[in-house]
């Protein structure tokens, strides 16, 4: 299927797992809606999208999982929905951590979307540029069913990230790349990715609805490694992680994340509840 045909049929879902993001969310929702509306104006997204059965739908929707926030995040989301903004909100009564939020996010989007639709996930703390959501979706239309934003390819990088976070991320990514090499992929821990919904549905068929076992930040490499067991066409795009624009303190416990990363490496390498991961063959698509 060519780029034009697929983009004409596909909705773009933007997925945001959010915990205590009352300050960051209003600006991020504005930026996302602006970037996606400009894509519609440029003709990159249709003004409405044909659904199975002949119905029409809006070309994009922002799906936010409020993961038991204790600040005003829920109020921000309810106001956005009441104002008729393209936002669908799901609320956890208690915090389930990033993995739990991702399980809910995937399940919700699969219920609302069709196989050829695209889900672009990113953090809700303003550390990524909203305009790149369209860039990741475009590479999905070009043939990739998984597109990863990477700070480790030319044009990528970080601004304002504390040294201990940079060191932890660099070490974790090097370990994952050595133990579980995926052709064309340099970034294993960043959450900024675009998934074709057909790929996520295949994961549910393979491992069940709760196929993400990890609850914390280590759910990100686990998701990538699980999906690498399936027929995969990958692409990477450079991203700059902008910690200088981040609103509020980091929610990552660096030392705990190091220990959990080592535990995930051991479980996936040598076996666990679902067994070890074998060698993988993936077809990379080269980013422009």
Helices (H), the chain: 3-9, 25-41, 73-82, 97-112, 132-141, 163-179, 197-207, 219-227, 254-270
Write down the pLDDT at residue 264: 65
User: How many Å apart are CA 188 and CA 47, to the nearest integer?
Assistant: 34
Query: What are the domain boundaries of the chain?
Result: 3-285
Vertex 125 angle, CA 95 and 166, to 5°:
100
Regions in the chain scoring below 70 on pLDDT: 1-8, 163, 245-288
pTM comes to: 0.86
Write down the pLDDT at residue 283: 43
Write down the pLDDT at residue 233: 94
- 20-68 pLDDT, tens digit per residue, is 999 999 999 999 999 999 999 998 887 778 787 777 788 999 999 999 9
Write down the pLDDT at residue 172: 79
Write down the pLDDT at residue 280: 38
Question: Which residue, 189, 200, 263, 197, is CA-closest to 227?
Answer: 200
Superfamily, domain 3-285:
Spore Coat Polysaccharide Biosynthesis Protein SpsA; Chain A (3.90.550.10)
Written as six digits, the tokens of 231 are: 């027929």
Question: Which residue, 165, 158, 188, 185, is CA-closest to 176?
Answer: 188
Write down the pLDDT at residue 272: 47
């Amino acid at each position: 299927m060519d780029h034009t045909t697929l983009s004409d049929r596909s909705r773009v879902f933007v997925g945001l797992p959010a915990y205590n993001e009352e300050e960051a969310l209003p600006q991020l929702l504005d930026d996302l809606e602006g970037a996606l509306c400009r894509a519609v104006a440029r003709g990159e997204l249709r003004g409405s999208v044909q659904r199975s059965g002949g119905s029409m739908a809006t070309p994009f929707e922002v799906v936010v999982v409020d993961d038991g926030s204790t600040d005003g995040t829920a109020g921000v989301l309810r106001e956005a929905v009441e104002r008729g903004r393209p936002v669908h909100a799901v609320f956890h009564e208690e915090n389930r951590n990033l993995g739990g939020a991702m399980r809910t996010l995937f399940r919700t989007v699969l219920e609302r979307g069709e196989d050829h639709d695209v889900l672009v996930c990113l953090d809700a703390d303003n550390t990524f540029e909203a305009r790149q959501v369209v860039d990741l979706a475009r590479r999905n239309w070009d043939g990739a069913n998984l597109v990863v934003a990477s700070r480790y390819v030319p044009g990528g990088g970080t601004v304002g990230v504390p040294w201990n976070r940079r060191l932890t991320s660099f070490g974790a990514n090097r370990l994952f790349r050595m133990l579980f090499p995926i052709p064309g992929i340099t970034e294993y821990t960043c959450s900024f990715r675009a998934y074709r919904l057909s790929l996520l549905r295949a994961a549910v068929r393979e491992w069940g609805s709760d196929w993400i076992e990890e609850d914390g930040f280590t759910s990100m490499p686990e998701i990538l490694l699980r999906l690498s067991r399936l027929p995969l066409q990958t692409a990477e795009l450079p991203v700059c992680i902008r910690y200088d624009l981040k609103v509020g303190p980091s929610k990552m416990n660096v030392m705990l994340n190091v220990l959990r990363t080592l535990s995930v490496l051991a479980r996936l390498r040598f076996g666990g509840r679902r067994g070890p991961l074998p060698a993988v063959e993936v077809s990379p698509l080269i980013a422009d």
